[in-house]
Structure 1
Amino acid sequence: MAGNIAKRANGKWRARYRDEAGKEHSRHFDRKIDAQQWLDRVTSAVVTGTYADPQAGKITFSAFFGEWSARQVWAPGTVLAMSLAARSTPFAGKPISQVRRSDVEAWIKQMNAAGLAPGTIKTRYVNVRSVFRAAVKDRAIGSDPTDGVRLPRRRRADVAMSIPTPEEVGQLMTVADERFQPFVALCAFAGLRLGEAAGVQLGDVDFLRKTLKVSRQVQRLNGGEIDVRAPKYGSERVVYLADNLVNVRAKHVAKYGTTGKSRWLFAGEEEGPPHQNTVGHWWRKALRDAGLSGIKLHDLRHFYASGLIAAGCDVVTVQRSLGHSKATTTLNTYAHLWPTAEDRTRKAAESIMSASLDPPAAMLDKVAMEMRE
């Protein structure tokens, strides 16, 4: 960066420099020392990588988001989530260089006071933070005002998570509408998400190898339209089905067939698959008929994961079965369900004690024989 200071005819001192793009920036000062200090600060910002174009920072947060988001390759769901987060900020109309950490903190406080869940607040915060980070990389601002902002604490996974009991799942399977039973089974015994289960086609099921390919999901757009898209990032997978679940699928197809040219397993409207509202209606009816409450359809996915863990499956196996993109996601969600070191030690000690104190079968046979004599 080239810069210099010169005294003007009117007695003012002009400090100026050219940025990396060759654009000239200048300011006038009454004293030379003030001009030098300003130029030193700019030079320091360039050296440390925190330099920002003063003119670029005048764009409002909303306008910057509009220009930046138009260049991003996002799934439709991401577009909606990012737009919602950006619109929710009270500083949307403020020049992005003037947004301070205090503005972000006030926004977080506002969402918390409105009763939004900590998870929802974190999601919006992360989305808005990505906008500011893009602005830093674009040299529109020198630093990210979201850095270090504290968020409301989330409940521990073991407290927040609700896992139905086998008895409750069995009850739901019994009373659910016959056409809906296989849907419940896919969520409870294969761990599919609502949209993934709704998007299953006959060709996804390999009855011989007893597998199910998860390669799409169904989402409902604004206005009630159906959108069929790829699953969440990293969620494409092959699920290994229990024999009974394969039988449930086969009986369903034999009795009700499939829907539309795509051969959807579950029928929605106009030969298409069902969306969230339709499935939600089926689920609420099943809960009422079972005399249950407080159980979400997504809780069946937790039920499936807990069953895999209880059966001794490792983290990677559970991760792949659930379609998590990273093992850390699986651990962050279900770590409390895996046996601890204390659990393993207790079980090992019990095994040692049983082997030492429980009478061997041969000894019991000998005692029984002596008693008969």
Structure 2
Amino acid sequence: MASLQKYTAKTARSGYMWRVQYRDAAGRSRTKSGFRTKDAAQAWADDNAVSVRAGDWISPEDQRVTLTEVWHRWKISRQKQLAVSSWRTLEAAWRNHIEPVWGHRAVASVHPAEVQDWVNKLDRAPSTVHRAFHLLRSLSDDAVRLRQMRTNPCVGVQLPSRQKSKNTTLTPGQVSLLIEQTNRYKSLVAFLAYTGARWGEAAALTVADVDLEKQRATITKSASTIGGQVTVGDTKTGASRSIAIPTPVISHLKKAMKDKLPTALLWTNQNGTHVTTPSRRSWWHSAVDACRELDNSFPSVTPHDLRHAAASMLISAGASVLVVQRQLGHSSAKMTLDKYSHLFDSDLDAIVDAFPQSRENVVKHGEMQR
């Protein structure tokens, strides 16, 4: 049961104010001061008692925790779960968009209307806005879980629409042309285009990771290029997997693996270290330019687009969603469908062909019944 006490205060017009003496959820005695009237003190005491009984009471100390403090604790548990490149992206979102606005704020003081205003004023690409918002929401979820705020102020906030980027891909013939026109790293291009592995996953492969007899490659790590520097870490999903190596790649890999020790990298740069993502003018762009001179329909593609080419060829060959998911290393089948559901549209033809009866026969049958 809370008790109310009057005390002298120089800042009050009447010369005194009111404080509430109460017990928190753990039974400790606490004091809340600064009420101008007895009614205001009583109203607060009643609301506080309800929170204690309901089990959603939050200590004053926790309510003063800033978002920067939440971020530092949050990243300790999350940093090891993400690939280096993914973590760098989150750090940039925090540093550029969240910390300047929210870092100094007590998490319990953030109001949903403020979050909506912040989203509306972020003059960035929709994908950047979404990334920053979802990071803020995740931090707030953590604060709610640790009882530093009652509700997440990000719930219900409206985000700008984000149009799905159109995947640029290559036809099987264009894949063959690109491999032919690649003077250096021909085997790497073939591997990426036919297996769908990520660039970083391929760059981290050693000879021991490849089994030509079983036509399998074991993906256990990723060599990410960030700011021109290579950092080796876990895969994007943090999980290892075994992928199939299609037959057209085998001859290329035999040449790449020849006379190399099992521990040697499959592909290296001129210094014998991990190959980095192609720069703006490199062997990759020379190969693409050569292809575009020979084929007017050849698109301007990046190494990452070879994943889309691989997915397209896999689906055309009849691979299921789960097979494509496993080969590409998506975290879920939903992600695979989100990206490539349009390529599975031809599966609907199988349903049509499963019912050979023509429309005319259906109509006649209906007329006979009438």
Q: Same fold (TM over 0.5)?
A: yes
Q: Is the 8 A contact 2:79 2:87 kept in 1?
A: no
Q: What secondary structure does 1:8 align onto?
A: strand
Residue-by-residue CA offset, 1:307-354 (whole Å, 9 max, x unaligned): 2222222221111111122222212222222136753333335x667x
How far does residue 304 in structure 1 lie from its aligned partner after superposition? Answer: 1.1
Q: Tell me the TM-score normalized by structure 2.
A: 0.81
Q: Is the 8 A contact 1:51 1:141 kept in 2?
A: no
Counterpart amino acid of residue 155 in structure 1 = Q
CA distance in 2, matches of 1:70, 1:307: 40
Counterpart amino acid of residue 239 in structure 1 = I
The 5-angstrom pairing of residues 36-115 of structure 1 reads 36-48=42-54, 50-70=56-76, 72-74=78-80, 75=82, 76-87=84-95, 88-89=97-98, 90-111=101-122, 113-114=123-124
CA distance in 2, matches of 1:187, 1:279: 19
Residue-by-residue CA offset, 1:20-77 (whole Å, 9 max, x unaligned): 3536241353444322321232233345554333333333322432344345552444
Residue-by-residue CA offset, 1:145-189 (whole Å, 9 max, x unaligned): 111212222224xx6222222232222111112x31111111110
Q: 1:84/1:46 Cα in 2 relative to 1: closer, same or farther (>3 Å)?
A: farther
Q: 1:280/1:33 Cα in 2 relative to 1: closer, same or farther (>3 Å)?
A: farther
CA distance in 2, matches of 1:28, 1:104: 29
CA distance in 2, matches of 1:218, 1:166: 27
Q: Is the 8 A contact 2:204 2:221 kept in 1?
A: yes
Q: Which residue of 2 aligns with 1:368?
A: none
CA distance in 2, matches of 1:24, 1:272: 62
How far does residue 205 in structure 1 lie from its aligned partner after superposition? Answer: 0.9
Q: Report the more deviating stretch, 132-141 or 4-13.
A: 4-13
Q: Is the 8 A contact 2:62 2:148 kept in 1?
A: yes
**5+ residue gaps in structure 2?**
9-15, 293-297, 362-370
Q: Which residue of 2 aligns with 1:168?
A: 174
Q: Report the more deviating stretch, 285-294 or 6-15.
A: 6-15
Q: Which residue of 1 aligns with 2:13?
A: none
The 5-angstrom pairing of residues 66-215 of structure 1 reads 66-70=72-76, 72-74=78-80, 75=82, 76-87=84-95, 88-89=97-98, 90-111=101-122, 113-114=123-124, 116=125, 118-156=126-164, 160-177=166-183, 179-215=184-220
Percentage of identical aligned residues:
26
Q: Is the 8 A contact 1:101 1:145 kept in 2?
A: yes
Q: 1:206/1:85 Cα in 2 relative to 1: closer, same or farther (>3 Å)?
A: same
How far does residue 277 in structure 1 lie from its aligned partner after superposition? Answer: 4.4
Q: Which residue of 2 aligns with 1:324?
A: 330
**RMSD after superposition:** 2.9
Q: Is the 8 A contact 1:218 1:273 kept in 2?
A: yes
Q: 1:276/1:325 Cα in 2 relative to 1: closer, same or farther (>3 Å)?
A: same
How far does residue 7 in structure 1 lie from its aligned partner after superposition? Answer: 3.6
CA distance in 2, matches of 1:23, 1:247: 77
Q: What secondary structure does 1:149 align onto?
A: coil
Q: Which residue of 1 aligns with 2:368?
A: none
